[in-house]
Structure formats: C-alpha cells, structure tokens
Structure 1
C-alpha cells in the first residue's frame, strides 16, 4: 500500500513538474494547465499554432469553434479510452454520466431528463427569486461589505438544486461542505493530498445520499430521488448508478451556476456602462447570461478521446488519441464572433457558444444555470444599484473551472 502511494505521489509530482517545464519553454497548452489567472492570451497562442496542434504533453488541442463543435457532436469521440479508462486522469466519476459514454450514458441521461426538463425547471423561478431576496436581506443586515461568492453565489444554486434533487434542508450545509472537498475533482488540478481528501469526501457523500434515499423510500416527494427510486425497484437503474447521480449532478450544476454568477457580475462591474444598461432595463439580464457564457464561461475546457482513427483539421488522431477542446477559446474565435475579446451584452449573434458543451454531453442543467444566473443578476442590480468592487478578487486556480474564490464587494 505504501509503495503504491509513493508511486502515485511520484507520478503526480512528475506530471506537475513536466507541465511547469514545458510552460516555461513556451508550450501554450502547458501554460493553460498551469492555471494562470488570465488564460486567454494562452488560448490565442494555441490559435496561432493552427486549427489543431499537438502539445509536447501528447495531447492534441484546438480553439477552433468549427472543429470543437464538430468533435463534441461526433460519436467517434467519447470520454473514455477503449480499455474503459476515464479522462482526465486523477478523476473518478464512477458511474455518473460525467464519466460515461453510450449506451450507459444515454440510458442514465434519459432517466434524468424529466427532473431537468426546461418546463419543470422554470417552475422554480419564483423560488429562486425569493432565495435571492432573502440572501440580500441577510447581507444588508450584516453591513455594507460582503463576499459575493460565500454570501450569495454559493447559496442560491445549492438551495435550488437541493429542492430539485431532494436534499433535505437540514443536510444542505453538510452537502455544501462535502462538495467543497470534491471540487478539485472538477478543477483538474489534483495533488496527492487533494486526491485523498476527495476520496474521503466521496465516501461521506455516499453515506449522506444512502441515508437520504432511504428517507425518500418512506416519504417520497416531488424530487429526482423520489422520481427515480421506482426505476431502482424495477431493475432498470441500480443503486450504484443512482448514488453517483445524486452526488455529481448537484455538484456540477452548483459549480456552473456559482461561477456564472461571479464571472457575470465581475464583467458588469468592469463595464459600468453595461451595468447601468441592465439597471435601466432588467430584461437585459438574459443578455448578460449569454455574453458571460461566451466571454468568460465557467467551464473552459473539455477532453475527448478518439474511439478510432479520425482525420481532423488536416491531421489524423489515432484510436485513444486525446483532444483538449478549449471551449473558452472557441467562444472567442474571430471567424465566428466579431471583436471576440470585447464584453458586449448588446452583441447579436446566431452562433452558439460551447459553454455547455454540445451533442450527447450537452449539459442537462443548462436551463437551470441560465435562469438562476438571470434571476441573480436582476435581483442584485435592482437591490444594490451602487454595488462596487471592494478589493482584489482571488481566483480558484483551475484550468477547467473558471471562477472566483473571493470577490469582495460594497453595496454603496
């Protein structure tokens, strides 16, 4: 056991040292993996290498919108290697949809869709508005200054997704604590120590949801767990599949919304003329969502594995060849989005961003994240029109999830 732990530590240390070395030598993809506060210059360096290029790390990389969109919709690519190994390395999504390819992914996605159907999700708008107002009331009662992420952004999606999935009110603080421990799994920057912490948190989350599932057997409600338990009883869904769904759907959905809220408010405060536009016309909040998803999306990069040799952009990826799709770079492709580095909520474009992926892995929670962020922008701007940044932001240090750890604000 000690030998395997030493080996894993050595592998992780070697990988991180190699990334630092190649970044210093100018490899733009290694620069991205180093998780700089501003990765967008590195994305442009990648674009300058051509539609697709191979990093010395062995990964093919693209920021080309057309190629990225094509690969995300191409069934010849998936999230696992032919031998079943999941990617990225050091991640363990077990049986959740995040780590599965068809046919298992298709089956689980079909079972989950009723909970996240846009029509059902929209019913929660009033609940989200009440939560936003309550959070702002609490903030204003405590004083002028607050941290957007810890006082507001984290609480809204946790409450909404808790209702949707079926996490009891009394368990949500514990769920939030465990989620914080599992987040490095999504960040993709994992040390040995973090990997062990993630394993412990997953064990805790499994215990938590095992108990919640048993509660829902006795007292079913209008939530995902209650809706899916009959599928377990009839044998079309196993408990080993249900528990990861309970864990990772709320985690992924919460993280996307948290960072969409933070990134959008930061962009608006850096463009005060656009903040004023939303204050005068709250219906523009939806446009803020769209432009934030394009300009500074919460999820920056996806990875796909070729299931067979595939010709792409003039090169042939071999079977099991790994491709990094830099969605945040594709969302700034000048061939698709004019003046792409400019944040502009009045932008009119018929082209889709890749902020929620595309194809069979398109984010089921996209409608939920969109309306939560829209409600958050509307409420914050209407209740706190004089909101301003009150100190430097601190980013989370991830090349996958783009977000803020700290975002100090003042209401006046």
Structure 2
C-alpha cells in the first residue's frame, strides 16, 4: 500500500533528523549526507577509518581508490536487492539501464551502445560548437551578469540530447522544462514535494515521448527513437522499455554534463592562474574536463548492494548490505593522485578517476559528456576571456550529485 502524504513527510523528517544527529556525533558519512559546502574534508575522515568501515547510518563506506574500483567492477554488487527492491536513487527508473542488473542490464546496454559509443560522440563536435556559439552570442548581446547554469550549462546538453533522441523543435521547450523537473531522480529525492513533482514530470515526459514515437513511426529520422523503434519491430526490446531508454539515459547524461561544466568553470575562476592558462592555451580544454572529473566530479558517490555473503577488506558483508562508494574521495586518494587537492589542468591524470563509475555500469555517455565539456570550456575561454564571478553561488541539495543551482558570472 502506498504511504500517505503524512506518512511520507514523517519518514523523511525522521531520516533527516537521524542524519543530523549522527553527523553531530561525528560520523563522517552522515556529514557527507548532510550536504556540506565541501564534502572533501569528510572524505579524508572516511579514508582515515580504513579501507572499509560501517557507518552509524548502516551503509559500508569507502573512499579508497583501489577498493572503490574493485567494488564497481565486481558483479557480486548491483543496484537491486535480492527481492528486486532498488536503491532509493533508482526508484522511478523502471525498465531502464540505470535501475537494472544483469541480465536485463546487459541486454539494454547492448541496445543503447550504437547511440552512445565514443565514435558517435566525436561526430557531434561541430553541433556542440554551434550550440555553444549561439548560447554565447545570446549572452554577449545582453549587459550585466548572468547565471552560468541556467543560461549556458543546462542549455547545451539538453539541446544536444534533444537532437540525439529526436525531439522535434515544437516540443523542445517542454522537453527542457520537464527534464529539469526530473533531476531529483538522479539526486536522490529528499522531500515529499519533490516526489510529487518528479512523478508528475515522469507522466508528462511519457506523454511527450509517446507523441514523438508516433511521429517517428510515420516519419523515421536519424535519431535514437527511430533506431529503437526498429528494435521494437524486430522483438529485441519492448515498447515499455523504449520510453524509459529515451528518457532516463539522456537525463543522466545531461545532468552529469551540466555539473561538469559548472564545476569546471568554478574551479577555473577560483584558480585564476588556471583560467589564464586556458585563455592562453585553449587546447588544454580537454585537460580541464579530465581534471574537473577528478577534482570536483558531478557524481560524488555510487551505492551498491551485496548480492551474496562475502569477505571484503577484512569485513564480512551479508546479502543486501549497502555500500557507499565515495568516488569524490577516491578521486583524491593520495596513493593514486599526487598532490590531490591541487587543481591542475596540465595534470596527466593517468589512473581512472571513477567519475563515470566502472565495470558494467560505466556511464555510456561519458565520451559525449567529456566532449561537450571540452568544447564548452574552449568556447568560453576563447570568446569570454574576462569571465569572472559576479555573486554568491547557490548549491544544490543533493548528496549524490554535486553542482550549483545558481552561479552568477559576468563577461566583462
């Protein structure tokens, strides 16, 4: 039976109070869940407790790069419990890659691969440049400060993904508006009002896509929906899987890119010598993307469920135990990354930063996200070399996705 509004509000209030108490008692994972301005000192506290320890919250936690990499690649861990129950951040992702374990995950990933492979990503470079130039033209036509997030970082990936998925021009404003309302699904829904809003957004995006699918049946194009429709016709996937695939894979990719761009520009402007270096050498833009993924990644943690009783890092983990893999901390593991707290766009990153996970759940849109960020950083440095902060930022409220809701900047 679905809990009532009163019950849900009471459960959420209890959860937040419990987290607050455990944080006050000194639990570093509870401090991370409290969404501080910077989680990075708390990742160091987690690392100081050993390779793996059980938080007072209940989850087993690690910020060690080697162990994090091992867990993310090990198929004894997944996103669903033995009875099929999903982790909270995957609720709503029915019939999609993000909420599936093998064998369904394997089949759906194979279906999505042709649309999201690295070779395909490079073919979008000129379109990404075109979108960036148009957005910057619009910004430079206005006087005064602007919000980097809403005026640039959010608009680039949504415009590109609308092209990739096959959203007609007449539906794009609605697609952008609904997509923004669905982001709490990736962040971990934390309030009753958010659950109501995201559920309504899912219904709206489903209606929009059903209409687009009908159009593509009548008028096929070179886009994701048309390619997936062919697979439905041949029986490789079902129509109930097509809509989630066309919704949630792009949503995950766009939100990662939004915050990769935002976090990267913030790091550059907070380190003026690095911004000046990029302005002088725009070819370093790809390095900015890689270093941002290490230094301040959009996704701060991945959570997994133990599928079988096992020994890990000297600990015995029961079936359905939850693990919190702190990739934001693993990406600053001093055993792997020298001088880890320094933002250096000339760094040779070397080891996998784990910013896009690893193993079978490695983000299929990683190549496209990095390409979008590279082109965006280069375009901003080339066309707005005097870009500067113009007010206080406002961060999001998620402990999974790290990014900004508002980032005021000025071009002059």
Taking the aligned partners of 1:284 and 1:28, their CA distance within structure 2 comes to: 35
The residue correspondences of 1:25-174 to structure 2 (distance < 5 A) are 25-88=25-88, 91-174=91-174
2:143 maps to 1:179: no
TM-score, normalised with respect to structure 2: 0.98
**Aligned equivalent of 1:9:** 9
**Cα–Cα, structure 1 residues 90 and 355, in superposed 2: closer, same or farther, change >3 Å?**
closer
Instruction: Give distance in 2, aligned partners of 1:158 and 1:241.
Output: 21
2:308 pairs with 1:316: no
State whether residues 88 and 303 of structure 1, in contact with CA within 8 Å, keep that contact through their aligned partners in structure 2: no
Change beyond 3 A, Cα 1:94–1:131: same
What residue is the counterpart of 1:402 in the other structure?
A: 402
- For the 8 Å contact 2:286–2:374, the answer to whether it is kept is yes
Aligned-residue offset at 1:72 = 0.5
Q: Where do 5+ consecutive residues of structure 1 fail to align? A: none
1:2: how far off? 8.6
Q: TM-score when scaled to structure 1?
A: 0.98
Alignment check: 8 A CA contact 1:299 1:355 kept: yes
In the alignment, the residues of structure 1 paired with residue 395 and residue 7 of structure 2 have an alpha-carbon distance, to the nearest angstrom, of 31
Paired residue total: 412
**Alpha-carbon distance in structure 2 between the residues aligned to 1:332 and 1:32:** 15
Would you say 1:346 and 2:346 are equivalent positions? yes
Asked if 1:255 is matched to 2:228, the reply is no
> Following superposition of structure 1 onto structure 2, how do residues 356-375 of structure 1 map, counting pairs within 5 Å?
356-375=356-375
The answer to whether structure 1 residue 235 and structure 2 residue 232 are counterparts is no
Cα distance between partner residues in 2 of 1:365 and 1:128: 15
> Contact (CA 8 Å) 2:356, 2:363: kept in 1 or not?
yes
Q: CA deviation at 1:7?
A: 2.7
Q: In the alignment, is the contact (CA less than 8 A) between 2:97 and 2:109 conserved in 1?
A: yes
Cα distance in 2 between the residues matched to 1:126 and 1:319: 48
| CA contact 1:394–1:407 (8 Å) conserved in 2 | yes
Alpha-carbon offset, residue 91 of structure 1: 2.7
CA 1:347–1:109: 2 relative to 1, 3 Å: same
Measure, in 1, the Cα distance between the counterparts of 2:30 and 2:10. Answer: 19
Q: 1:295 aligns to what?
A: 295
Give the match for residue 269 of structure 2.
269
Q: Note the alpha carbon deviations across 1:337-394, whole angstroms, 9 max, x for none.
A: 1111111112123211000000000000000000000000000000011111011111
Q: Please, which moves more after superposition, 108-117 or 341-350?
A: 341-350
| RMSD of Structure 2 on Structure 1 (CA) | 1.3
Partner Cα distance (1:19, 1:139) in 2: 41
User: CA 1:35/1:91 → structure 2, altered by over 3 Å: closer, same or farther?
Assistant: farther
SS for the counterpart of 1:101 is coil
| CA shift in 2, pair 1:141/1:47, >3 Å | same
Instruction: Return the alpha-carbon distance in structure 2 between the equivalents of residues 156 and 132 of structure 1.
Output: 7
SS at match of 1:263: helix
Could you tell which deviates more after superposition, 232-241 or 83-92? 83-92
Conservation of the 8 A alpha-carbon contact between 1:90 and 1:190? no
